[in-house]
């Protein structure tokens, strides 16, 4: 069975590719982000494991899309996407292939939002399992994995000391709260911006300072966007930022920081360190952009540790298996990962960590299911 | 319109009673827990605000149930319950009244579990709005409110220093994680026990030591149950606990700690401090039980701060209003609080805190709803 | 041998009194703070343990000093002071008794500062052992003990939820950092004010927001002073505080908050809760003062847990023993607690906690003492 | 005036060299650690700034010492040392040069211990200013700087996820507590081992699990030594460690982990990743050693951020200036950095951070200095 994977080309992805091949799939891989490819991994997959890979670190916009096209040429029966760009191509230029596809999975918050929009318009061409919605995916990958690796990327890129810094996180979703928690754990004073009052309230109760981006722009030392939306930091914010402010993004696409505005405002630009561009403002203040506003954990560090990706990719592999086994029952909708898969992955993970937990006794299970036991 | 409320009789409840009366309701109040009544509040409600109250702090089991009966005699059209005991009486001894009732609300995790069991058996007699499920209720009340007030109750009862202690929390639901977070914040080394592998994994990734209760029993200095289940700490645990171990519960009912077993094992018992019973074991070890295993935050402290209950009770009041307005559309099911009510409460709360947040621009809202904007 | 003790009259103090009597001392006790006396403890000491006690909870200024006089009438050979008021009386109205005194101990930061000032002027009348300087005293008592009990006092007095509040701590000494750490641990956003640049820098690197009191006054919800100095919060701060701001002090004397100014500004005052006075400002804003600005942990809670005071009082008892044994070698100076006493107390404390630690091997000890082992 | 500097050859050191040259010194630089040299920095110092540098990354033991000899050949009047190896050479093979030297500074805890041992034996040949003892040095550099950069080094070397891991820190001095705090901040469960009961007690009260290394060896996932002593992790610990355990050191010398024992036990060794050696035990368990047991923050990451080193090096530069100005008054002793220098550096640092702090009023200063103001 042919499968097209579009994922970050890292060692962890390589592990997933090998598992799928072992399960009998004919696999083709392209990059989910122009900067996240590890070229040595790509080479090893091709040479040692006979997986077709279309991805080069730093590839330009046209090459990136030509690589997606090349992967789709493979006529996949299954897709695994990370940001929904393969699915996007299939639903626009390649609509004739939609009927061949049994199902797909989607890895990211951003991709799931896009696919639900497609479903709402009645245009979704095949069933999707939203891997991102699994607890063993988003709680661990988005929160703990991205939390640590985003901070890691910022530190590697800048060697900045976080202690004592005002660190602004835009968005208090799973990723944002992971980043916020880890920045605080390293001694930063963390500020949150949000558009959702429930999340804003939660951030405040978690001890973070909540304010608008316009207020935060004046006091922040380091900024990191994690909203999944565009134009979160833009011209009116650059105008009031402090000299030396550092800008980074850990949302899926590099649209959260308005880079065209940053470039057009600058009177001078230079590379301050590897991955760090300096933009001098007309009044002399210098703003620093990391990794061209792309996912800072993948571009400037190594992405998630293998110890988180194992759970995300277990969801991918088991969800694809589930989709093939239940192909007849699935409509052109976005489905969650079945709860049994989710729980089983957690159980296996705890076992590998050597952690024992309690099991409900029969008496306890019965009590939870009853409505007539009183005080 | 007649309404029966069964809630903890505290100053915050009094505020809610006054709001309901102002909205035109004829209100009767009985206690949700034999130890949580503040007698001066009960008196003031009767004398100054003309609300009938059936509740006495420390009332025995029979009086407690006779008070529920008395409240039900009032022939309510609406119920507000906290643990589902009024609803339990209505579904057993008072089934003839079920038809008079427009709807009810339920405040606790425990109650919602019982009511869903009733619904699953097809026996639920009127629509329920599960106030506990609202984000502005369970995230704030269960987590932040119970987190702080549980610790407060334990400290008031024992004057123990938490720094350096091994503090065992049974259950990593909203309440458990609130307690765990606050115990850690006061310097304790926190251990979590769980039966759900997903929650156990999350606790571990949050930096807590996860183990079985049998393992925890040997090392813990302070124990607090927050599972909503029964027999969480029992004989085999007492047998291995350290001399001086402190036992408390913050789950809804006092069944989480097996108190009959504790009493039957003890060779000697005495009151060590107000709210603290000492149970001497045959080998001389002394175990300390707080507040007879009842909700420690209500029995030994003042329950939730008003600043949390405001949101829970806003959910109660607005859910009852919603139920009356939409009576014709509601089936005999357990419903969540409508999302607009939830979000509106968060928005109002932030305003009272003086916190400004961002608002989506038109461009940002459009981007989130689209599926065809790419990298 | 006659000894005068001037300490907070609490159950822990009672334990120390009993130990001293068991060691053969003839003990007299007076209060170190007009609000911190537990009257039942005072009564038990008199009736059951034959200790003379001059202390009544809430005694006025004149009674307080007449009690100190009565204690000094006892002609002590040793003094144990907590704030240096007994020593103050001995160095002013009772100079003729100075020659009778072998040595004294002092418990607080404030008292040690006063006694060093006396020594610097050449006026100190007998040797002092500064118990406060022992690591097993100030690290644990001032930081962990006062940290928890100060928060406890504020919560008991007000039932405020700390999560989401801006909590201002004045002073980042041992007490201040204890309070700051615990307030953060309960979810507050903590702001520090300081006059010492080293401490201010450390607070900032610890992740706290550091600013002037004038800046903090505008944004704070709860204030707690811990500086050992006077007039830390005063008129210009009251003028800009938010409606509902809560004021408390955990420094030794009630001079840190300028209470006369608060009273003179108020257009109306009333008792809002036990221990909480409401002061209405001319523009209608209401400010709340806890426990008349006295030590909030002693006045509104139970003071330090016994588990901290054990170490402080072990320092007291062993320092007095040391002073008697080394009377001939001591000058009229302020001495630290001998390091061996300090370390021995830590060793004993760990043993009671069941904590094992490593011991230097001979090879390791030699390595640490050497200068000629290289890379 | 000739000066020999022996410091980690990093960009921050280069900044200090340039400052000293600007002050008129004739500077020679050699490495303080065979692995910490940044070769491009060394080259730039030689070529662009005319500083003699004797240091190559990865130089062997003989080359390392021949470089020290070469530096000493320069006949320095002042020394700046980092681990006391230059001073060691001067006090053994080059005793004839001792008389030429005005003073020296020492940067590390380890070096200060060695120099105090030398002073105690009456053998110290010239005055030393212990830069490490300055608060603006050890509180910030050792704690915050090493804390973050040690974690950074471990993550860069292994890409391990810290959340959920048991992280063992040996030593709870300034460095150890920095590492412990940051590991906890990233979600690890932190275990402390100590030999000093006071520090062990403090670690316990800070919420860490304290145990012996033998106990920790059985449960730890990641180990980091920070004791300044030798043979902290050795054969009996390797025997019980879990498969996959990671070993690292952030103490000054690579003697804390017993590497010869690790090598002799292994049945197989290989390089698992850059900087990570895998040692297979006879029973198949694999242990991973980072950076050959050398300072992990310098070997596998970039050392301290410039934002911390600025304060350490300000202490170096101002201490040397002070030593030259006060040469006549200094004996052959180890001196602390003068308090005014320390405080001035903190004041300057806060100013660069844009932080305002309070200033004592005249009334407040007088109060602090008085002994006769009472309750």
Residues B79-94: tens digit of each pLDDT: 988 888 889 899 988 9
Partners of C186 on chain B (C-beta within 8 Å) are 148, 151, 182, 185-186
Q: Which of A222-236, B24-38, B252-266 has the lowest mean pLDDT?
A: B24-38
Taking the C-alpha atoms of residue A357 and residue B216, their distance in angstroms, rounded to an integer, is 11
For residues B334 and A274, what is the distance between their CA atoms, to the nearest angstrom? 57
> Which chain B residues touch A372 with a CB distance below 8 Å?
88, 92
Q: What is the pLDDT of residues A25-64, one digit of tens each?
A: 888 888 777 767 788 888 888 888 888 888 888 888 888 8
Residue B21, pLDDT score = 84
Pure H helices in C231-357? 235-238, 259-265, 296-299, 306-325, 339-353
Structure confidence at residue C295 as a pLDDT band (50, 70, 90): very high
d(CA A285, CA A280): 6
Query: Is the CB of residue D210 less than 8 Å from the CB of residue D192?
Result: yes
B155 touches chain C (CB under 8 A): yes
Angle at B116 between CA B110 and CA B121, to 5 degrees: 135
3-state secondary structure chain A: CEEEEEECCCHHHHHHHHHHHHCCCEEEEEECCCCCCCHHHHHHHHHHHCCEEECCCCCCHHHHHHHHHHHHCCCCCEEEECCCHHHHHHCCCCHHHHHHCCEEEECCHHHHHHHHHHHHCCCCCCCEEEHHHCHHHHHHHHHHHHHHHHHHHHHHHHCCCCCCCEEEEECCCHHHHHHHHHHHHCCCEEEEECCCHHHHHHHHHCCCEECCHHHHHHHCCEEEECCCCCCCECHHHHCCCCCCCEEEECCCCCCCECHHHHHHHCCEEEEEECCEEEEECCCCCEEEEEHHHCEHHHHCCCCCCHHHHHHHHHHHHHHHHHHHHCHHHCCCCEEECCHHHHHHHHHHHHHHHCCCCCCCCHHHHHHHHCCCCCC
Chain D interface disruption, residue of C229, C305, C357, most D CBs within 10 A: C357
D2-6, strands of its sheet edge to edge: D52-54, D26-30, D2-6, D78-81, D103-106, D128-130, D334-336
Q: Are B41 and B13 in contact (CB under 8 A)?
A: yes
Which residue from C114, C360, C375 is facing D195, i.e. has the nearest CB?
C360
Interface of D with C in 39-78 (CB under 8 A): 61, 64
C162 contacts B307? CB cut-off 8 A: no
Q: How many CB pairs under 8 A join A and C?
A: 31
Nearest-CA neighbor of D257 among D213, D197, D302, D317? D213
Alpha-carbon span B84 to B62, nearest angstrom: 17
Say what the pLDDT of residue B254 is: 92
Q: Cβ B358–A213 below 8 Å, yes or no? A: yes
How far apart are the C-alpha atoms of A279 and A266, rounded to whole Å? 5
DSSP string over C272-294: EETTEEEEE-TTS-EEEEEGGGS
D232 three-class SS: coil
Q: Give me the pLDDT at residue A372, please.
A: 53
Do B319 and B326 touch, CB atoms closer than 8 A? no
For residues D163 and D99, what is the distance between their CA atoms, to the nearest angstrom?
54
User: What pLDDT, in 10s, does the model give residues A6-24?
Assistant: 666 677 788 788 888 888 8
Which of C147, C148, C187 comes nearest B144 by C-beta?
Answer: C187
Q: How many other β-carbons are positioned within 10 Å of the β-carbon of residue D101?
A: 20
In this prediction, residue A374 carries a pLDDT of: 43
D24: enclosing H helix or E strand: none
B307 to chain D nearest CA, in Å?
29
CA C88 vs CA B115, C81, C95, C97, C328: distances in Å: 68, 10, 10, 12, 24
Q: Chain D closest CA to B197's CA: distance in Å? A: 14
Q: Which of residues 323-362 of A touch D (CB under 8 A)?
A: 353-354
Q: Give bridge partners of residue D129 from the DSSP assignment.
A: D105, D335
Structure tokens at B174: 């909203």
Name the pTM for this structure: 0.87
Facing D187 at nearest CB: one of B188, B205, B209 = B205
CA–CA distance, C151 with A359 (Å, rounded to integer): 37
**How many Cα atoms sit within 13 Å of C57 on the Cβ side?**
14
A357/B144 touch (CB, cutoff 8 Å), yes or no: no
Cα distance from N-terminal residue to C-terminal residue, chain D: 58
As a whole number of angstroms, the distance between CA C131 and CA A257 comes to 57
Q: How far apart are CA B35 and CA B32, in angstroms?
A: 9
Which residues of chain D fall below pLDDT 50?
374-375
Q: Check CB contact under 8 Å for A148 and D156.
A: no
Judged by CB atoms closer than 8 Å, whether chains meet at D164 and B188 is answered as no
Residues 6+ apart with CB under 8 A from A230: A253, A255, A256, B363, B364, B367, B373
| Neighbors of chain C by Cβ distance (3+ pairs < 8 Å) | A, B, D
Q: How far apart are CA B209 and CA C221, in angstroms?
A: 34
Task: Report the candidate in C210, C169, C107, C211 with the shortest Cα–Cα distance to residue C296.
Answer: C169
The helix-helix angle for D174-185 and D146-158 (nearest 10°) equals 60
Give me the interface pTM, i.e. the ipTM.
0.83
Q: Identify the pLDDT of residue A6.
A: 66
* pLDDT at site B2: 67
Q: Does C363 touch chain D (CB under 8 A)?
A: yes
pLDDT for C5? 67
Nearest CA distance, A367 vs chain C (angstrom) = 33
Q: Mean pLDDT in chain C? A: 90
- How many CB pairs below 8 Å do chains A and B form together? 177
Describe the crossing of helices C146-158 and B146-158 by its angle, rounded to 10 degrees.
110
In whole angstroms, what is the distance from residue D33 CA to residue D175 CA? Answer: 18
Between A77 and A302, where is the model more confident?
A: A77
Q: Give the whole-number percent of chain B exceeding pLDDT 90.
A: 60
User: What do you get for the CA distance between the two ends of chain B, in Å?
Assistant: 58
Which residues, including other chains, have CB under 8 Å from residue B192's CB and lie 6 or more apart?
B168, B169, B170, B172, B176, B180, B200, B203, B204, B208, B209, B210, B211
Indicate the DSSP class of residue B206: T
Q: What value does the mean pLDDT of chain B take?
A: 90
Residue of D nearest to B184 (CA): D207
* Cross-chain Cβ contact C161/B144 below 8 Å: yes
Is a pLDDT exceeding 70 seen at residue A371?
A: no
Computed over its alpha carbons, how large is the radius of gyration of chain D?
Answer: 22
Mean pLDDT of C79-103: 90
Instruction: Indicate the DSSP class of residue D295.
Output: B
pLDDT in tens, A150-185: 999 999 999 999 999 999 999 999 999 999 999 999
Which chain A residues have a beta carbon less than 8 Å from that of C201? Answer: 164
In percent, the amount of chain B with pLDDT more than 70 equals 96
Total Cβ atoms within 10 A of residue C281: 17
Nearest CA in chain B to D189: B207
Which chains does A contact via 3+ CB–CB distances below 8 A?
A: B, C, D
End-to-end CA distance of chain C: 58
A252: tokens are 């899926």
Report, as an integer, the average pLDDT of B159-177.
95
Binned at pLDDT 50, 70 and 90, residue C225 comes out as very high
Specify whether the CB–CB gap between B299 and B36 falls below 8 A. Answer: yes
Question: What does the block give as tokens for A213?
Answer: 């981006």
Residues of D in contact with B184 (CB under 8 A): 207
Other Cβ atoms closer than 10 A to A301: 25
Minimum distance, in Å, between the CA of residue D164 and any CA atom of chain A: 9
Please check the confidence at residue B246 and state whether its pLDDT lies above 70. Answer: yes
d(CA A174, CA D76): 57
| Chain A residue with minimum CA distance to C205 | A164
Whether the CB of B163 is below 8 Å from some CB of chain A: the reply is no
> C155 and B152 in contact by Cβ < 8 A?
yes
* Position B375 pLDDT exceeds 70: no
Counting one residue from chain B and one from chain D, the pairs whose CB atoms sit within 8 A come to 31
Q: How confident is the model at residue C372 (pLDDT cuts 50, 70, 90)?
A: low
pLDDT band, very low/low/confident/very high, at B209 (cuts 50, 70, 90): very high
Q: What distance in Å separates residue C214's CA from the closest CA in chain A?
A: 18
Taking the mean position of all CA atoms in its chain, how far away is CA D31?
13
- pLDDT, one tens digit per residue, over D246-259 is 999 999 889 999 99
b (16+ CB within 10 A) / e for A153-177: bbbbbbbbbbbbbbbbbbbbbbbbb
Task: Give percent of chain A with pLDDT exceeding 90.
Answer: 60
Q: What pLDDT digit, counting tens, does each position of C153-196 carry?
A: 999 999 999 999 999 999 999 999 999 999 999 999 999 999 99
Determine the residue among C161, C163, C164, C186 to mutate to test chain A binding: the one whose Cβ has the most chain A Cβ atoms within 10 Å: C164
| pLDDT tens, position by position, A65-123 | 888 898 899 899 999 888 888 898 999 889 999 989 999 999 888 888 889 989 999 99
Q: Look at residue A11 in the predicted model and tell me its pLDDT.
A: 74
In this prediction, residues B131-152 reach a mean pLDDT of 88
């Amino acid at each position: 069975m042919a499968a097209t994977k579009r994922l970050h080309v890292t060692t962890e992805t390589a592990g997933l590719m090998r598992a799928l091949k072992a399960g009998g799939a004919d696999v083709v891989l392209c990059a989910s982000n122009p900067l996240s490819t590890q070229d040595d991994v790509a080479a090893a997959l091709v040479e040692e494991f006979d997986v077709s890979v279309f991805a080069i670190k730093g590839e330009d916009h046209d090459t990136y899309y030509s690589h997606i096209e090349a992967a789709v040429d493979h006529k996949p029966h299954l897709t695994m996407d990370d940001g929904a760009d393969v699915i996007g191509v299939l639903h626009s230029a390649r609509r004739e292939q939609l009927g061949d596809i049994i199902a797909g999975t989607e890895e990211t918050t951003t991709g799931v939002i896009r696919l639900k929009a497609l479903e709402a318009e009645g245009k979704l061409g095949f069933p999707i399992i939203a891997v991102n919605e699994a607890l063993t995916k988003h709680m661990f990958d988005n929160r703990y994995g991205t939390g640590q690796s985003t901070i890691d990327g910022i530190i590697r890129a800048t060697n900045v000391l976080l202690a004592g810094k005002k660190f602004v996180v835009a968005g208090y979703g799973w990723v944002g709260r992971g980043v916020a928690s880890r920045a605080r754990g390293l001694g930063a004073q963390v500020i949150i911006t949000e558009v959702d009052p429930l999340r804003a309230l939660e951030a405040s109760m978690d001890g973070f300072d909540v304010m608008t981006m316009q207020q935060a722009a004046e006091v922040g030392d380091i900024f990191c966007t994690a909203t999944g939306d565009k134009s979160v930091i833009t011209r009116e914010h650059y105008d009031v930022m402090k000299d030396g402010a550092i800008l980074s993004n850990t949302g899926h696409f590099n649209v959260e920081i308005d880079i065209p505005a940053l470039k057009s405002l600058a009177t001078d630009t230079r590379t301050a360190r590897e991955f760090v561009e300096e933009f001098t403002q007309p009044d002399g203040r210098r703003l620093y952009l990391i990794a061209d506003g792309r996912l800072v954990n993948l571009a400037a560090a190594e992405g998630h540790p293998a110890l988180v990706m194992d759970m995300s990719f277990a969801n991918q592999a088991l969800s694809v298996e589930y989709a093939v086994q239940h192909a007849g029952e699935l409509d052109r909708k976005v489905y969650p990962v079945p709860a049994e898969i989710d729980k089983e992955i957690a159980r296996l993970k705890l076992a590998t960590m050597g952690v024992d937990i309690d099991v409900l006794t029969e008496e306890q299970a019965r009590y939870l299911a009853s409505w007539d036991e009183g005080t």
